[in-house]
Chains A and B, each alone.
Chain A
């Protein structure tokens, strides 16, 4: 393990969030078992109070997870000089087998926690808490992911060994760490350009449809999920090269560096926000039939669709700015 302050911070943060979530899961089990809205017993009152605690904790968990996602990437980035052949986070995440799984689990837990908060928000709008059992079952499903994320991250961070000068020899003759993942994601440019354009148009159009007609939310959320993957692929395969001004450099992490004005942070953030709001419209859609939520859900869906449209527009604006004002021209390719 490397005694790096960033690593200590990440380990402490994930230990705290996962233990908080374990506590919430315990409360969740109690609520699933004993919840009875019609009862006025001492126990029911106590459980109703506990729901406040759980939603409070969950909103903090989401905030911490988002922060820790970016802190994780940044830490991997700063550690890269310690490993032979690693130029940025892409290399240092490959140092052991836990790096990329940890990153993916972090993104998944962020999305799940966000979805939970959307369901919770919807539920709190109705006076009779119609989704209480569903949302606590969902909480029980999220908990293993967060624990897995904390353990995989710990496995990655504790397993890091820097290639420093040893007493026997100075230079270690290992081959360069290949960043295969970025090459894999670098699909043919025309294909990914076409896919990205089509997917953006469809997502925005469907979002507009949901916003105006409050219909088609399920389809919109499926499309949003695909759009998440397509935008990340597009970012790596043809948007990032305009920021790097280098047609052969497809790196998902270098774009986060100060040389490129940290432009990667807003780009990744709006991708996450757009996916989250898109998925959110779909996940609450089946509950429209519940009487107390009948009027509430369309309103929330409208708002989420609007957020998704705005997030996608911001993405297009930033990426478009990068492409139009870049010194790189691919006309010759």
Chain B
């Protein structure tokens, strides 16, 4: 209990002594907060993007089979389906038709995808939100495309095909559907001039997830020109890409960070005559070197914690309320039809611990020697000044 009382008293003294030198300390805390804010924004943002990607990919097919020609993806012949369906454990094989369409009018790339529901309604399309705004530049009242409006598509044989908008995709799924246009199979084949016996890729349903690698191995054995991709692999790649982007930004910020460490070192070394006298008096009235070190420890802890929590709070506001305006273009990539989305707030202890390692520990290391130096000042030499 006595030890606790001692710590409390020293902490009390430290805080009031910090308060007496407001100007110097506020400047330090502000810079410190800013550095933590920058790093925390990067960490929170990349982490939420990873979460978001994982959430979206939950509904992705467990396995996709593509065909490669000369190392590039090509159309896959429909007759591959039969041989793949023969493999034990494969529940279903469904061909998919999708592609990218460059719209010269709006200057954007759309993703065209065949939807089975539209197959008996040729000439109709369902569009995503981004498309509706992009395709209607000349429209009155700037309203965006409405139901029954017509979008002209230039087919690959040079003719123009007008398709009627029959609906808009729900706003909630904007992250995936911003640039999406759902079309019927006939229209799709007409626009891209694709033969009837070909598909873009095949989607597999597999009963037991543990069999996925074996089935993938069998597919490449039967059709050596194919490339099976598992959902797990897509997730893994996204994870690595977002981690890598976050890491690169952290490296770029390392310059800012070193400048801050030098500032912290400088502030801790350059004791004013008044501070030196204070330490001298404390020692003269009976404080030991270890007490002064304890005081310096509490000083560092107070400054660090204040900056740490303020920085994290500001980063939280920046990422989850202001959609991280500072880093978004670099971290999430870009596109003409980029969806507007707000990330789900998600912070865990691991991010906080990482941040602590990246900021508070270097700060502490930078101030150890200066605080030791000030704690071992001779009282008589200071007070004589």
Which A residues are within 8 Å of any B CB, using their own CB? 2-10, 12-13, 16, 20, 49, 52-53, 56-57, 60, 64, 67-68, 70-71, 74-75, 78, 81-82, 162-165, 167-171, 173
Given the contacts A5-B43, A81-B236, A82-B240, A12 and B357 also touching, CB distance less than 8 Å: yes
Residues of B within 8 A of A12 (CB): 357-358, 361-362
B228 CB-CB contact with A under 8 Å:
yes
Which of A13, A52, A173 interacts with B213 by CB under 8 Å? Answer: A173
Min CB gap B160→A, angstroms: 36
28 A-B residue contacts at CB 8 Å? A2-B240, A5-B243, A5-B358, A6-B350, A8-B247, A8-B250, A9-B354, A9-B355, A10-B357, A16-B362, A16-B365, A20-B365, A52-B293, A52-B375, A52-B376, A53-B369, A56-B368, A57-B368, A67-B353, A67-B356, A81-B235, A81-B239, A162-B240, A170-B229, A170-B230, A170-B233, A171-B213, A171-B220
Name the CB-closest residue of A to B248.
A3
Min CB gap B53→A, angstroms: 12
Which of A2, A71, A169 interacts with B243 by CB under 8 Å? Answer: A2
Residues of B within 8 A of A75 (CB): 350
Is B357 touching A162 in the complex (CB atoms < 8 A)? no
Q: Tell me, in angstroms, the Cα distance from A57 to B369 when the chains sit together.
A: 9
Is B293 touching A13 in the complex (CB atoms < 8 A)? no
Given the contacts A3-B244, A165-B229, A165-B234, A13 and B375 also touching, CB distance less than 8 Å: no
B71 CB-CB contact with A under 8 Å:
yes
Residues of A within 8 A of B43 (CB): 5
Residues of A within 8 A of B42 (CB): 5
Q: Tell me, in angstroms, the Cα distance from A2 to B242 when the chains sit together.
A: 11
Which of A16, A20, A60, A74 interacts with B353 by CB under 8 Å? Answer: A74
Residues of A within 8 A of B71 (CB): 167-168
Residues of A within 8 A of B362 (CB): 12, 16
B280 CB-CB contact with A under 8 Å:
no
Name the CB-closest residue of B to A265.
B349
Given the contacts A3-B246, A5-B354, A163 and B236 also touching, CB distance less than 8 Å: yes
Min CB gap B241→A, angstroms: 8
Q: Tell me, in angstroms, the Cα distance from A49 to B377 when the chains sit together.
A: 10
Name the CB-closest residue of A to B371.
A56
| Interface residue SS majority, chain A | helix
Residues of A within 8 A of B369 (CB): 53
Min CB gap B355→A, angstroms: 8
Is B361 touching A13 in the complex (CB atoms < 8 A)? yes
Q: Tell me, in angstroms, the Cα distance from A113 to B365 when the chains sit together.
A: 17
Residues of B within 8 A of A169 (CB): 220, 227
Chain B 193-234 residues near chain A, CB threshold 8 A: 213, 216-217, 220, 227-230, 232-234
Chain B 322-361 residues near chain A, CB threshold 8 A: 350, 353-358, 361
Q: Tell me, in angstroms, the Cα distance from A65 to B251 when the chains sit together.
A: 23
Residues of A within 8 A of B217 (CB): 171, 173
Besides the known contacts A2-B240, A81-B236, 9 further A-B residue pairs in the complex with CB atoms under 8 A apart: A3-B244, A4-B246, A5-B354, A12-B358, A49-B376, A68-B357, A164-B240, A170-B216, A173-B217
Min CB gap B376→A, angstroms: 4
Residues of A within 8 A of B364 (CB): 60
Q: Tell me, in angstroms, the Cα distance from A58 to B59 when the chains sit together.
A: 51
Residues of B within 8 A of A163 (CB): 233, 236
B58 CB-CB contact with A under 8 Å:
no
Given the contacts A4-B243, A171-B230, A173-B213, A164 and B368 also touching, CB distance less than 8 Å: no
Q: Tell me, in angstroms, the Cα distance from A173 to B233 when the chains sit together.
A: 12
Residues of B within 8 A of A162 (CB): 236, 239-240
Residues of B within 8 A of A64 (CB): 361
